[in-house]
């Protein structure tokens, strides 16, 4: 069986699974809307029974939101949509994402530091996907410092033929066994984690032809890097 004939079934499965996730999101949206209406009705009452009902509805709303997030992440994970590759300034993307997350991180008592290599060239990237991958890493780092707020450091630099973005936290860290499984689909150490965040990061980076690095120590923290290829002038097909 040649490579082309092997790739087509995988593409078909990705389309099928992505479509299934989309179909599941439709009834979830209806459930979410009706639960919100029910909550609004129950919150008008001032009886103990009404209060208990509101709490139960809130629990259900939380579960629906978790399922919606999981399905959205799953769609991104299996997507084979063409990358929108354009020459971008990686530092600008990182700075924008950090600015977006800064208020939430500060509110949680987490310090934010950044170190940018100003000599990085423009590189071909799908900006939206890179933003999503970086946001996933920042959220993971944030959650790792939930019980003991520390410092989140995001840096960029050139490593050979790659432009590297590193996200470093001073959180709980991972032991060797957890580190081995960190990028496995549906594996999560978080109580309400989907187990899709890091696999999605790896898929996004690998679709760019890049590499992912990860180093972690319990009680010290975690360092995860995304390396994107630096291509020569003229090798970036804009909009392809």
> Could you list the residue range(s) of the whole structural domain that residue 41 is in?
3-78
Same domain (yes/no): 111, 43: no
Same domain (yes/no): 208, 113: yes
Same domain (yes/no): 187, 155: yes
Structural domain contains residue 142? yes
The domain boundary residue, chosen from 24, 43, 78 = 78
pLDDT tens-digit profile of 201-214?
A: 998 999 899 999 99
Among 6-10, 23-27, 130-134, which stretch is predicted with the lowest mean pLDDT? 6-10
pTM reported for the whole predicted model: 0.67
How many Å apart are CA 29 and CA 92, to the nearest integer?
Answer: 35
Assess whether pLDDT exceeds 60 at residue 39.
yes
Q: What's the length of the chain?
A: 240
Structure tokens given for 192: 């309400």
Q: What is the DSSP string of 170-181?
A: -SS---HHHHHH
Would you give the DSSP letter of residue 217?
E
Same domain (yes/no): 195, 99: yes
Structural domain contains residue 240? no
Structural domain contains residue 131? yes
Same domain (yes/no): 112, 224: yes
Between the CA of residue 41 and those of 27, 54, 61, 189, what are the distances in Å? 21, 9, 15, 37
Same domain (yes/no): 123, 207: yes
Assess whether pLDDT exceeds 80 at residue 17.
no
Would you give the DSSP letter of residue 158?
E
Assess whether pLDDT exceeds 70 at residue 2.
no
For residue 207, is it left (φ>0), alpha (ψ between -120 and 50) or beta?
alpha
pLDDT tens-digit profile of 161-215?
A: 999 999 999 998 988 888 788 777 666 666 555 567 788 899 899 989 999 999 9
Between the CA of residue 239 and those of 9, 91, 127, 128, 208, what are the distances in Å? 26, 21, 11, 13, 14
Confidence at 8, pLDDT banded by 50, 70, 90 = very low
- Nearest by Cα to 91 from 124, 122, 128: 122
- CATH assignment at residue 151: 3.30.565.10
- CATH assignment at residue 68: 1.10.287
What is residue 231's predicted lDDT score, i.e. its pLDDT?
A: 78
Assess whether pLDDT exceeds 60 at residue 216.
yes
Same domain (yes/no): 160, 192: yes
Same domain (yes/no): 108, 69: no
DSSP H/E element including 125: strand 123-125
Report whether 204 contacts 129 (CB < 8 A). Answer: yes
**pLDDT > 70: percent of the chain:** 78
Assess whether pLDDT exceeds 90 at residue 48.
no
Dihedral over alpha carbons 214, 165, 163, 11 (to 10 degrees): 70
Assess whether pLDDT exceeds 50 at residue 158.
yes
Confidence at 236, pLDDT banded by 50, 70, 90 = very low
- Nearest by Cα to 228 from 80, 96, 83, 77: 83
């Amino acid at each position: 069986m040649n490579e082309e004939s092997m790739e087509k079934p995988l593409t078909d499965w990705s389309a099928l699974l992505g479509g299934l996730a989309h179909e599941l999101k439709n009834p979830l949206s209806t459930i979410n809307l009706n639960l919100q209406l029910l909550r609004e009705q129950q919150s008008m009452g001032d009886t103990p029974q009404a209060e208990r009902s509101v709490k139960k509805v809130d629990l259900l709303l939380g579960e629906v939101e978790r399922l919606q997030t999981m399905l959205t992440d799953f769609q991104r994970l299996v997507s084979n949509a063409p990358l929108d590759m354009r020459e971008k300034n990686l530092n600008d993307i990182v700075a924008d994402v950090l600015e977006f997350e800064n208020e939430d991180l500060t509110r949680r008592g987490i310090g934010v530091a950044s170190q940018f290599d100003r000599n990085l060239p423009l590189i071909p990237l799908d900006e939206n996907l890179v933003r999503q991958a970086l946001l996933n890493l920042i959220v993971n780092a944030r959650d790792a410092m939930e019980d003991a707020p520390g410092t989140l450091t995001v840096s960029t630099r050139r490593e050979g033929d790659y432009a590297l973005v590193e996200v470093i936290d001073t959180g709980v860290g991972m032991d060797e066994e957890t580190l081995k499984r960190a990028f496995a689909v549906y594996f999560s150490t978080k109580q309400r984690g989907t187990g899709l965040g890091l696999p999605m990061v790896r898929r996004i980076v690998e679709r760019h032809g890049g590499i992912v690095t990860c180093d972690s120590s319990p009680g010290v923290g975690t360092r995860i890097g995304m390396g994107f290829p630096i291509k020569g002038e003229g090798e970036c097909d804009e909009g392809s």
